[in-house]
Amino acid sequence: MKRFLLALLIVLLSFSLFAQGATETKPEEIRVMLANHPYGDLLKEKIPEFEAEYGIKVNYEQLQESQLSQALATEFATASSTVDVFMTRPLQEGLMFIKNNWYSSLADYDFADYPQSTVDIGTKNGVPYIVPLVTEWQVLYYRKDLFKAAGISVPKTFDELKAAAAKLTTKDVAGFGSRGKGAAAVTQMSSYVYNFGGRYIQNGEAVFDSPEAIKAIRFYGEMLGNYGPQGVTSMSWENLMPVFQAGKLAMWTDASVFYGQIIDPEKTAIPKENIGIADLPAGPVDDSPFLVVSWGMAIANTSTHKDAAMKFITWATSQELALEGIKNNITMASNSAWKGASGLMNEELIATQAHAAANGYPYDRPFVTSVGAARDLIGEVIIESINTKGTSTKLEALAKEKVAAVNELLKTDGEYHNLPY
């Protein structure tokens, strides 16, 4: 029996030796981390085409955006990463990843097809690290049928927005929605701050306690407190979207990227023709919605397959795939994609892009390394404003306190009066 077992062991070991021989001819493998984003979904579908063309096996994972950031940071910080290529949010994690040397230089990548401002977001000391994938800007989604029934036209100014919200609010339908959940609301309130003439950060210093910014925060609180859906201080886009899709929201200001999802007949109860998309109304001082690079793609500095990773990133950001994105109403970052957009994408969406491209501001949050903590601090001011419908008597003092806290973060990170904007 013992002899039989010994013979069996030898045979099995021999197999494993042959198997070892077989691995030498195995195709090169790369690990790619994708986000739960329409473009991540598109890449997932197309990856078999890349594998067939280049003979490189792609092992991909797809995660929700904050989980993706956390997974990447954990792997990189603990020097245990096997990631080669990943989707990244330049404004959320770009500065921290650059500071920790987690991105690989993309100096060899051809950035000619991208607006310089979108490349600059992921560039430090002249070295580019991020290929811009998707841009987003703030828009107004609205219900054409409800507007028609109420006899009103699409608001062009904040005053008109307020009047429309008041008119459209009923027992069953909230007149106006936008993110109210603390940190998540910071990005969507940014355009309101800009249109009132304020900023979150200026000259490397927090300034959201300025009179202009305070007016914007009060207006945002007044709108959501009076006309927003119940529980709006707990709502980010993933909570507002189903409310809009269920027909319980008349107007919703959020990022342009959601258009494809809200007109998807499998997900929405409202016919496509009843859903409109328009520019964010102008404020009393400016008409400058955010226009940001929401997603980019990068190669991990620790990647041991940099050539294959470069092939993947070049393919994933190619003009052909960008046009596929446009066909799916994904707002791509490259110039050529927009040149070919007409006829492939909704014309109203294209018009909002043109408006944002001409007037937009390239940040939708405090573009600092400690962005997570800074967003929470600003979020506290937003929630106070919403809870009091914009009438809080302690809003100025609270904003001042949080400005001081954000400035402390900037000092700790060596960014106080030391930011390029």
Q: Which residues bind other proteins (CB under 8 A)?
A: 66, 69-70, 73-74, 77, 96, 99-100, 174, 181-182, 229-235, 239, 242-243, 246, 248, 369-370, 372-373, 376, 379-380, 383, 387, 412-414
Separation CA 185–CA 189 (nearest Å):
6
Q: Where are the beta strands (DSSP E) in 271-349?
A: 275-279, 291-299
CB of 370 to other proteins, least distance (A): 5
Q: How far is the CB of 365 from other proteins (least distance, A)?
A: 13
In residues, how long is the chain? Answer: 421
CB nearer to other proteins: pick between 125 and 230? 230
| Minimum distance of other proteins from residue 24's CB (angstroms) | 33
Is 386 in a helix, a strand, or coil? helix
Cβ proximity to other proteins, 324 vs 415, nearer residue: 415
Q: How far apart are CA 134 and CA 295, in angstroms?
A: 5
Residue 143 region by backbone torsions, left for phi larger than 0, else alpha for psi between -120 and 50, else beta: beta
Is 201 in contact with 262 (CB distance < 8 Å)? no
Nearer to other proteins, 195 or 370 (CB): 370
Closest approach, Cβ 186 to other proteins, in A, equals: 13
Query: For residues 73 and 357, which CB has a smaller minimum distance to other proteins in the complex?
Result: 73
Are 166 and 175 a contacting pair, CB within 8 Å? yes
Q: What is the DSSP string of 20-42?
A: HHHHTTSPPEEEEEEESSHHHHH
What is the Cα gyration radius of the chain?
24
CB of 384 to other proteins, least distance (A): 9
Residue 29: CB minimum distance to other proteins, A = 28
CA neighbours within 13 Å on the CB side: how many for 234? 2
The residue among 331, 343, 300, 310 whose CA lies nearest residue 135 is 331
Whichever of 235 and 395 has its CB closer to other proteins, that residue is 235
Q: Which is nearer to other proteins, 328 or 388 (CB)?
A: 388
Q: Which is nearer to other proteins, 83 or 326 (CB)?
A: 83
Q: Residue 88 in contact with residue 297, Cβ under 8 Å?
A: yes
- For the CB of residue 69, give the shortest distance to other proteins in the complex, in Å: 8
